[in-house]
Amino acid sequence: MGRLHLFDMDGTLLYGSAAAVEISRQLGLDREITELERAFIAGEVTPVRFAELACELWAELTEEVVTKAFEGAPWLAGIREVWADIRARGERCAVISLSPAFFVERLTLWGADAAHGSRWPALPFREPVEPDGILSASAKVRIMDELCAEFGLSRSDCVAYGDSLSDTALFAAVPASVAVNADHHVSALASYAYDGRDLREAYELVRADG
């Protein structure tokens, strides 16, 4: 029986960082994004409002800046190797993140079978945010179910990797999960816990069970 490995991105594949932080760093907006991230984590702004405010903040964002942010981000070591091993074993891997799809989808070039993020306006931003395109924590479960249907699998075949509150619904819906550099929201729900900077080591915790 195959398995579907589901990876969060911000704080999980990205060590101690997030797409919004890395993009803002390229634009010299570190202080502004720190405050916006704080408000989001505290529940003071919704995912939709976060996207709206970030679009205002990144008024002149270009694909070139996104590329620099992606390439310079603090990714965990071994991501490509883990995904190559998963696919060599006849299993599947996907990324589901609340971050902009124009950042998340680049991970398909590293070997992910699928990568889902929030649908933001095209770059440079000239159109408003469409609320229906912005993902929430519950959307991760919906996307998992859609991927399972596409790959002929079920929730019982899934393994989730995540680090924070936005991963709790997904962790509660699958039989196996790995808390990666995680906070208290997911630690109690996870089957395994990993602290470090190499995805290969986190993957080994569940690889032998496959």
- What's the average pLDDT block by block, 10 residues per block, for the chain (210 residues)? 93 97 97 95 92 94 97 98 97 97 98 97 94 94 97 97 94 96 90 97 86
Contacts 24+ apart (CB under 8 A), 183-186: 186/162
Please, are residues 103 and 66 in contact by the beta-carbon 8 Å criterion? yes
pLDDT (0 to 100) of residue 208: 72
Q: Nearest 5 degrees, angle CA 120-CA 125-CA 128?
A: 65
pLDDT (0 to 100) of residue 210: 58
| One-letter identity of residue 71 | E
pLDDT (0 to 100) of residue 117: 98
Distance in angstroms (rounded) separating the CA atoms of residues 55 and 129: 8
Axis-axis angle for helices 30-41, 47-57 (nearest 10):
170
Please, are residues 192 and 171 in contact by the beta-carbon 8 Å criterion? no
Distance in angstroms (rounded) separating the CA atoms of residues 6 and 20: 21
> What is the reported pTM?
0.95
pLDDT (0 to 100) of residue 42: 87
pLDDT (0 to 100) of residue 1: 58
| One-letter identity of residue 179 | A
Rounded (10°) CA dihedral 59, 27, 49, 75: 140
pLDDT (0 to 100) of residue 41: 85
122 DSSP assignment = P
Q: Kindly write down the DSSP assignment for every residue of 49-115, as one continuous string.
A: HHHHHHHHHTTT--HHHHHHHHHHS-BPBTHHHHHHHHHHTT-EEEEEEEEEHHHHGGGGGGT-SEE
pLDDT (0 to 100) of residue 184: 85
